[in-house]
């Protein structure tokens, strides 16, 4: 499994994004910063599990996190 190109051809990524968006919409009673902090904890656990089960490498996680930072802050560090 690659964290760099997770886009399945069968539309599973789009379907998963739709379900996550629907779920996040149910969390509107929480401030955005609380949702972001909770998602950070969840992402940490998910990435740790991917590493533990050998589904990705530490380098792939580093690149994934760097890409997330780049996209979230909208800059290009190339």
pLDDT digits (tens, 9 = 90+) for 23-69: 999 999 999 999 999 999 999 999 999 999 999 999 999 999 999 99
Q: Return the higher-pLDDT residue of 10 and 50.
A: 50
Q: What pLDDT shows up at residue 34?
A: 97
pLDDT at 3: 74
The answer, yes or no, to whether residue 5 has pLDDT greater than 80, is: no
State how far the Cα of 15 lies from the Cα of 17, in Å rounded to an integer: 5
pLDDT tier for residue 13 given thresholds of 50, 70 and 90: confident
Please tell me the distance from the alpha carbon of residue 77 to that of residue 29, in angstroms, as a whole number.
36
Q: Are 77 and 70 in contact (CB under 8 A)?
A: yes
Q: What are phi and psi of 38, to 5 degrees?
A: -65, -40
């Amino acid at each position: 499994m690659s964290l760099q190109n997770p886009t399945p051809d069968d539309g599973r990524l789009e379907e998963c994004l739709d379900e996550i968006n629907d779920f996040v919409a149910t969390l509107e009673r929480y401030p955005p910063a609380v949702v972001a902090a909770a998602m950070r904890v969840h992402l940490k656990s998910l990435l740790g599990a991917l590493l533990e089960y050998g589904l990705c490498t530490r380098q792939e996680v580093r690149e994934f996190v760097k890409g997330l930072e780049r996209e979230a802050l909208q800059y290009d560090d190339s």
